[in-house]
Amino acid sequence: MAETVLVCVTGQQSSQRLIHRGAQVAREHGAALLVLSVSGSGVNLLSNPEVSQALNDLYRLSGEVGAEMTMLHHHDAHRAICDFVKERGVTRLVLGEGKPGQSSFIASLMRSLPQVAFTIEPVTV
């Protein structure tokens, strides 16, 4: 079965490290590389110049490392990620550890996607 790595990013410049890590994982496993950003429905990311610039930079970087980047608007990020994983046949998922309190989100994804190998990158200071 072909491997596919998915990197989940937010509209922050710090997400670049996740794309680099995802590219490394994809190389190690001879896998295709995908990048996904999910924003809440009704959220206009382009109205925030910092977020807009960060997403442009992430899109550019995705192309540089050979990844396809998708941006979704969905009211339920958990559902959107799970559906995307299933639709695209993702076998490995790269996520950032996030802020305190977000570990329950990651744990929920792990329970919902037991067939997927997770790489959780720690927060860098």
Per-block average pLDDT, block size 10, for the chain (125 residues)? 91 88 97 93 66 89 96 92 97 86 82 96 71
Alpha-carbon span 91 to 24, nearest angstrom: 15
pLDDT for 63: 96
pLDDT for 64: 97
Alpha-carbon span 117 to 5, nearest angstrom: 9
Q: Which domains does the chain have, with CATH numbers?
A: 4-96+109-121 (3.40.50.620)
Q: Where are the alpha helices (DSSP H) in 1-125?
A: 16-29, 49-64, 77-88, 103-112
pLDDT for 44: 61
